[in-house]
Amino acid sequence: LPAPAGVDGDDVSAVFDSPSQLVKAAAYHQYPACGMASGLNHTRLGCNNVNRSDFDFMSYSLRTPDWRYTLWLEWDKAALAPRWEGGSEAEELYGHRGDDSSDMDRWENSNLAPGKPAVVARLRAQLRAFFSRGARSE
């Protein structure tokens, strides 16, 4: 069926015929963190229905067949935007090559970011390019 006018998104119907077919280079996700006085471990507690001027950090994440990379950026409450430069940040990188989605704990227990600077730099640039242009699909 044709997409209705005004609907965002891409046609991914090819997945129905071939579930292993890639239809996008990466999946992107963004979510806020609030009440961060005790650190990044309480990312979503108390953040539902919170005004965006009250966020502490914003998480930007991308998932490829081989990696999940997440960048936590300090949120500029006045500009209502992330501090891509000069704010405090944290990074997470998890390897997913061979992941069949049957066991999340197998893939998400060791942060590989400190030992993979080239991968982190490439994925960080991809993530920033995506969110800086306001894109919603790739």
The string of pLDDT tens digits covering residues 20-50 is: 777 788 999 988 887 665 555 555 556 777 8
Neighbours of 43 (CB within 10 A): 17
pLDDT band at 134 (very low <50, low <70, confident <90, very high): low
pLDDT tens digit string along 52-64? 888 888 889 999 9
Q: What is the identity of the amino acid at 51? A: N
- Per the CB < 8 A criterion, the answer to whether 56 and 33 are in contact is yes
The number of residues in the chain equals 138
Rounded to two decimals, what is the model's pTM? 0.78
Q: Tell how strand 89-95 and strand 81-82 pair up.
A: unpaired
- Per the CB < 8 A criterion, the answer to whether 71 and 124 are in contact is yes
Given a cut of 60, whether residue 138 has pLDDT beyond it is: no
Q: Which one-letter DSSP state was computed for residue 96?
A: -
